[in-house]
Structure 1
Amino acid sequence: MTRRDGEALVLMSQREAEGRARLLEFAAQLITVTLDDNGSLAERMSKAFPWMLALSPADRDTCAQNLVDAARASFSTDQPHLAIAELTSWKETATAIAAGLGRTDLEWLDGDDVVERP
């Protein structure tokens, strides 16, 4: 559609607009992380995303790299959902760990064990 001033008008859904806004917010946080030169990538990202502190040090490293990779994929393909899904997944994992989920010792059943129906 062309407006009177000759500039093209683009319409998008509310979901698309929110996805782009969230991706831009995420990009701003990543830029802040890259400008900081103190510590590893995971340490710098933990400052921008304090929920990462609930993860183990090894998981923080993995999370940091996964988030950067997902952001690069999102930016290069114009698909905001890639980065936002990765961010949401890691944040929910950290939240579950902080809530104590995953600390319970699991009792594994042998292949021969039968579990009665409740």
Structure 2
Amino acid sequence: MPADLRYWTRSSSELSKHPAEVFAEAEEHPIIVTRRDGEALVLMSQCEADRQSHLLELAAQLISVVTDDHGTLAERMAKVFPWMLALSVADREACAREILDAARASFATEQPHLALAELASWKETAAAVATGLGNTDLEWYSEPHLVARP
């Protein structure tokens, strides 16, 4: 197992001799390809590269939020993420805190999915609220209830 759990190492000769095996590994996690005659290269899936790119984009957005000194955290985040305006004031506050916490965890663990999933979850929640899904009174049954077959 590698010292850095994010990357496994293979030599360029291993890549030449067993490309299918190395490519299959690269679909699971990034691979450092070492070379005798040059700097090591990283082989990873496009999906992984996209996740890292999205995390950097989120980092830039959050830096702009935390360096702005006008308004509350939720107000500043709503400037960067206008979909947050569909949420209630209390939900905006929770959203801001939870996205920042998830981003901190992502940066600390180098796991982009933590922050990206939290951001996507809140954005989908805001979209659902915007369509009126949060305004429906629900009727809860305490006992099993038979319904007609569709």
Provide Cα deviations, 1:25-77, integer angstroms capped at 9, x if missing partner: 00000011011101110010000000000011111010000000000000010
More RCO (CA 8 Å, sep 6+):
1
Query: Does 1:116 pair with 2:147?
Result: yes
Q: 2:111 matched to 1:96? A: no
Q: Indicate the residue corresponding to 1:54 in structure 2.
A: 86
Counterparts of 1:45 and 1:12, CA distance in 2: 32
3-state DSSP class of the match of 2:127? helix
Distance in structure 2 (CA, Å) of the matches to 1:71 and 1:10? 24
- Which runs of 5 or more residues in structure 2 are unaligned? 1-33
Q: Identity percentage over the alignment? A: 65
Are residues 2 and 65 of structure 1, via their aligned partners in 2, closer, same or farther at CA, if it must alter by over 3 Å?
Answer: same
Contact 1:29–1:48, Cα closer than 8 Å, also in 2? yes
Could you tell me which residue of structure 2 aligns to residue 42 of structure 1? 74
Q: Secondary structure at the match of 2:99?
A: helix
- Could you say what the CA RMSD is over the residues aligned between the two structures, in angstroms? 1.3
* TM-score (normalised: structure 2): 0.73
Tell me the distance in 2 between the aligned counterparts of 1:9 and 1:110. Answer: 60
Secondary structure at the residue paired with 1:38? coil
Unaligned runs of 5+ in 1: none
Q: Are 1:41 and 1:64, in contact at CA under 8 Å, matched by a contact in 2?
A: yes
| Structure possessing the higher radius of gyration over alpha carbons | 2
- For 1:101 and 1:3, the matched residues in 2 are separated by 59
Quick check: 96-105 or 81-90, which moved more? 96-105
What is the alpha-carbon distance in structure 2 between the residues aligned to residue 47 and residue 3 of structure 1? 49
